[in-house]
């Protein structure tokens, strides 16, 4: 089971929520926590999760979830509504990088994702979700590559690729159909010519007998 599936099953499905995206992160400025109230000590893995409620009107949340070393369970640590999100800083609008910041009304977090690709996918889904569910005062997305904010997004590129492949296949079938049509037309002409030749030969043969 993937980490996203395990998170969805353990944290979000029991709360009648649906997990939209999750990214494994580490703080760029690590906090030293010798002991946690949950009883966990030492290393842990952190996930930032984006979820939506199944009930209408839908509510969207950003949730910080931790999994302690040696444990298969997840612990919900912090949660914000998406309307509390004020800014998403992608750090670099030119090159792909794993760093990003989330700025809320009550504070901010500086994160590094497992990879630039994981960060890009999470930010893209977050941006799309904000556009869909926040009618006004949408959070600001700064220092983000244009492909993450619509237009030439990863999802649009994938859709364009599929559309292009379908168009090429359709064009090939049309061209093949045209070639088959021309072949059938030529075959018909040859058959007519052959039939005409046979009829003529038959008439000449009958005259010769007479």
pLDDT in tens, 78-98: 999 999 999 999 999 999 999
Residues 170 and 103 grouped into a single domain: no
Out of 20-24, 33-37, 192-196, give the one with best mean pLDDT.
20-24
Per-residue pLDDT band at 33 (split at 50, 70, 90): low
Structure-token pair, residue 53: 């409620």
Residues 92 and 180 grouped into a single domain: no
13-27, 36-50, 156-170: least confidently modelled range: 156-170
Mean predicted lDDT score pLDDT of the chain: 81
Residues 120 and 110 grouped into a single domain: yes
| CA angle (28, 86, 18) in 5-degree steps | 85
Residues 134 and 174 grouped into a single domain: no
Rounded to an integer, what distance in angstroms lies between the CA atom of residue 191 and that of residue 177? 21
Dihedral of the alpha carbons of 115, 21, 29, 89, in degrees to the nearest 10: 90
Domain range for 74 is 3-29+41-151
In the chain, pLDDT over 90 holds for what percent of residues? Answer: 54
Do the domain assignments include residue 34?
no
Mean pLDDT, range 158-162, rounded to an integer: 45
Per-residue pLDDT band at 125 (split at 50, 70, 90): very high
Residues 130 and 176 grouped into a single domain: no
Q: For position 43, what pLDDT does the model report?
A: 87
Residues 147 and 163 grouped into a single domain: no
């Amino acid at each position: 089971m993937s980490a996203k599936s395990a998170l969805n099953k353990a944290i979000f499905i029991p709360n009648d929520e649906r997990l939209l995206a999750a990214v494994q992160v580490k703080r760029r400025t690590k906090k030293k926590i010798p002991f946690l109230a949950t009883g966990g000590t030492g290393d842990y893995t952190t996930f930032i999760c984006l979820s939506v409620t199944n009930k209408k009107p839908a509510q969207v949340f950003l949730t910080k979830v931790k999994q302690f070393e040696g444990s298969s369970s997840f612990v919900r640590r912090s949660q914000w509504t998406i309307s509390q999100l004020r800014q998403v800083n992608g750090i670099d609008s030119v090159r792909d990088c794993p760093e990003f910041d989330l700025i809320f009304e009550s504070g901010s977090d500086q994160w590094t994702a497992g990879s630039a690709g994981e960060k890009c996918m999470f930010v893209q889904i977050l941006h799309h979700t904000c556009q869909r569910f926040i009618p006004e005062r949408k959070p600001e997305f700064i220092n983000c590559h244009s492909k993450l904010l619509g237009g030439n997004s990863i999802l649009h590129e994938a859709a364009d690729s599929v559309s292009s492949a379908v168009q090429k296949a359709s064009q090939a079938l049309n061209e093949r159909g045209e070639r088959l049509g021309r072949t059938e037309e030529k075959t018909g002409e040859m058959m007519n010519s052959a039939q005409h030749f046979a009829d003529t030969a038959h008439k000449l043969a009958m005259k010769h007998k007479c």
